[in-house]
Amino acid sequence: MAQAFSLRRHGKLLILVAGIAAVILFGWYQFGGEPAPTQAESWRRMGWDAPAVVRAEPAVLGSLEVQVKSIGTVTPLNTVVVQSRVDGVLDRLVFEEGSAVEQGDLLAEIDPRPYKAQLEQAEGQLQQNRAKLENARADLVLYEKLWEQDSIARQQLSDQRALVNELVGTIRADQAQVDDARLQLSWTRIEAPISGRLGLRRVDPGNLISSGDTEGLVTITQMQPIAVNFTVPEVELNTLRSAYRGEGKLQVEALDRSESEVLATGELTTLDNQIDTTTGTLRVRARFENDDYALFPNQFVNVRLRLNTLADVVTIPADAVQFGTDRNYVYVINEGKAYVREVVLGAAANDRVAVSSGLEAGELVVLEGLDRLRDGKEVTIPGAEPEASAAEASERPAGPRGAPGERPAQGERRGPPRSGN
């Protein structure tokens, strides 16, 4: 029992000694040890004080083409389903599927014999009534002479005149039947109503076809010229209408799916009369000559509509712009450091954006490596020559740090102080 009591005493003593040692170490760290690191030392310990490797490009003074990009559908200006106007047996097809045809080319023939018989019957009836009319007119001449001689009654003369007029009307009706029969016979020859390219045939020779068949024999699609329908956002409506009312035609380019190849170039022809409320867009149409058949009906293409060209504007790559909650800014490189520069943006096109104010031509803006930048951060541009860069920097107008070409005095810091120092 004495031994157990001794062990408890030693355990309490050890705990007491450890507590006193902890208090002493804490006090030494707070009052007599190494001071807490500053913010600059914290940056240094995390590696943020090392120069950031970035890629930069200079702002360029030049022209910028304002464009609208969209997705369009190639649409034929005319598409016709070739149907028979008369009933009958399809004798033959004289076209090749997929071939080009001109308006008026023969496509197919229907058995014409029933319609030839109808035509002959109508012509025979017409001939009979013409003979009756000639006889009635001869009798009328005779009755007029007899009437002058007071040999017949007036009523008989009137009846003969009425008979002549009746036969004249009959002949006109017979002539109409002859014309109709001749028209029906002509429709047994099915001709191309428009010029274009044929599709696949939908019926074979020997089948009985009728004028009520909605499927038709074949389709003809006009390929030259051809149209592309696409949409323009509502926010671009005013700019589009102003450019459309201008003197020149608005150029439209149709590109492939990857936007690497221009398939055809045309012009804007039509604006729809209302905005689609479900999508907030306006449907428009462009016309392409399509001489090389690069555009195919119902094909999806990328569309570039050129609205106007801005001359003598400062432009930078769109990737250089950073969007804040209350401002847009870029990182400008000057004397090996990156500084924040607030900019006012204008129109954008082809991955470039116009800068209305805040930047001058020739100033370097950062494109890559933005995630490791802060105001006043030292940067390194791979492949750049420091001497040349310094010379160019001295020739360019300075940013917010001083006059153009002014060199800092020894020990003087140019630009805003580094954040956190």
Q: What does each of the 421 residues of the chain score in pLDDT, given as a tens digit?
A: 445 445 455 556 667 766 776 667 666 555 554 555 555 555 555 555 678 888 888 888 888 878 888 999 999 999 999 999 999 999 999 999 999 999 999 999 999 999 999 999 999 999 999 999 999 999 889 988 888 888 888 888 899 899 999 999 999 999 999 999 999 999 999 999 999 999 999 999 999 999 888 889 999 999 999 999 999 998 888 888 888 887 778 999 999 988 889 999 999 999 999 999 999 999 999 999 999 999 999 999 999 998 877 788 888 888 888 888 788 888 898 888 888 888 888 877 777 888 888 888 888 888 888 877 888 888 888 876 554 443 444 344 444 433 333 434 333 333 443 333 3
255 φ, ψ (degrees, to nearest 5): -115, 160
Whole-angstrom CA distances from 241 to 21, 51, 68, 371 are 83, 50, 13, 41
CATH class of 78-111+188-220: mainly beta
Looking only at the bridges linking them, the beta strands covering 377-380 and 52-53 are parallel
User: Domain boundaries in the chain?
Assistant: 52-64+312-395, 68-77+221-310, 78-111+188-220
What's the CA gap between 95 and 189, in Å, rounded? 13
Reported as half-sphere exposure (CB side, CA atoms, 13 A), residue 100 has a value of 5
List, in sequence order, every residue forming a beta bridge with 253; answer none if it has no partner: 265, 304
User: Which structure tokens are listed for 51?
Assistant: 């120069």
Whole-angstrom CA distances from 113 to 185, 188, 398 are 9, 10, 94
Amino acid at residue number 246: G
CATH class of 68-77+221-310: mainly beta
The 10 Å Cβ neighbour count of residue 409 is 8
298: left (phi over 0), alpha (psi -120 to 50) or beta: left
Q: Which of 172, 160, 161 is nearest to 126 (CA)?
A: 172
What's the CA gap between 239 and 245, in Å, rounded? 10
Contact (Cβ atoms closer than 8 angstroms) between residue 349 and residue 394: no
User: Which structure tokens are listed for 35?
Assistant: 């001071």
Amino acid at residue number 78: N
Reduce the DSSP state of residue 117 to 3 states and report it: helix
List, in sequence order, every residue forming a beta bridge with 227; answer none if it has no partner: 75, 287
Total H helices, total E strands in the chain: 6, 22
Reduce the DSSP state of residue 30 to 3 states and report it: helix
52-64+312-395 folds as 2.40.420
Q: Which of 327, 326, 321, 332 is nearest to 359 (CA)?
A: 332
What's the CA gap between 108 and 104, in Å, rounded? 12
Contact (Cβ atoms closer than 8 angstroms) between residue 216 and residue 82: yes
**Which alpha helices (H) appear in 245-347, and where do they start and end?**
none
Q: Which of 286, 279, 267, 272 is nearest to 233 (CA)?
A: 279
How much is the pLDDT for 371? 79
